[in-house]
């Protein structure tokens, strides 16, 4: 089973959190403009959900910023599986980066695990979703995500956060062709 490591994502987020600002220069001037970036969303300010994805081996994930200010999560959801190392790979393959959520805003992602008929991989009883690698995440039992016989894991993939459930479903479908 191949899983993506959450370490590079966590390091990027820590660097973003430590700097807290981005500097941009205007061509032809010596002055730099400091643009504040929102900090990482506090985990307690996020509503994280996971539900069946419409296919036997798909899960729909969503997060909502329940806080009073804009904040950032990693653009790649961190999805891990009970008892296994690593996390689902992003499709398309990309690096870590911020995804800003306004107060009350919801973002969506889609996850694909192995087809239950496959003999490869592992079967686990739950998965955990974190909106940011620095968060512990929320654990969902297999039955909650529509897989009562267990979650079959073999090269799991997840989309980046999207603005709508339909966009997340399309992103997964497009990535898997």
- Give the pLDDT confidence score for residue 156 in this predicted structure: 96
Return the structure tokens found at 171: 């992103």
Least Cα distance to 81 among 137, 131, 135, 33 occurs for 137
- pTM (two decimals): 0.79
Exposure string over 159-169, b if 16+ CB within 10 A, otherwise e: bbbbeebebbb
Bridge partner residues of 162 (DSSP): 108
* Residue 82: DSSP 8-state: T
For the chain, 177 residues long, give each residue's pLDDT as a single digit of tens: 444 444 444 434 333 343 343 333 334 444 555 656 789 999 999 999 999 998 889 999 999 999 999 999 999 999 999 999 989 999 999 999 999 999 999 999 999 999 888 889 999 999 999 999 999 999 999 999 999 999 999 999 999 999 999 999 999 999 887
In a 10 Å sphere around its CB, with 0-12 CB exposed, 13-18 middle and 19+ buried, how is residue 49 labelled? middle
CA distance 32 to 30: 7
CA distance 152 to 19: 40
- Give the pLDDT confidence score for residue 119 in this predicted structure: 86
- Give the pLDDT confidence score for residue 56 in this predicted structure: 80
- Give the pLDDT confidence score for residue 18 in this predicted structure: 37
Residue whose token pair is 């069946």: 52
């Amino acid at each position: 089973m191949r899983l993506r490591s959450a370490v590079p994502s966590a390091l990027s987020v820590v660097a973003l959190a430590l700097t807290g600002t981005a500097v941009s220069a205007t061509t032809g001037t010596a002055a730099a403009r400091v643009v504040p970036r929102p900090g990482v969303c506090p985990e307690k300010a996020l509503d994280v959900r996971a539900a069946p994805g419409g296919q036997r081996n798909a899960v729909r994930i969503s997060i909502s910023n329940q806080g009073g200010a804009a904040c950032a999560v990693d653009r790649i959801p961190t999805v891990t599986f009970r008892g296994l190392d690593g996390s689902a790979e992003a499709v398309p393959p990309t690096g870590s980066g911020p995804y800003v959520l306004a107060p009350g805003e919801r973002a969506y992602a889609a996850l694909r695990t192995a087809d239950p008929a496959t003999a490869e991989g592992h079967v686990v009883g739950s998965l955990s979703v974190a909106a940011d690698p620095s968060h512990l995440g929320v654990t969902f039992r297999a039955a909650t995500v529509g897989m009562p016989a267990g979650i079959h894991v073999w090269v799991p993939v997840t989309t980046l956060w999207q603005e709508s459930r339909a966009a997340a479903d399309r992103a997964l479908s497009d990535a898997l062709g």
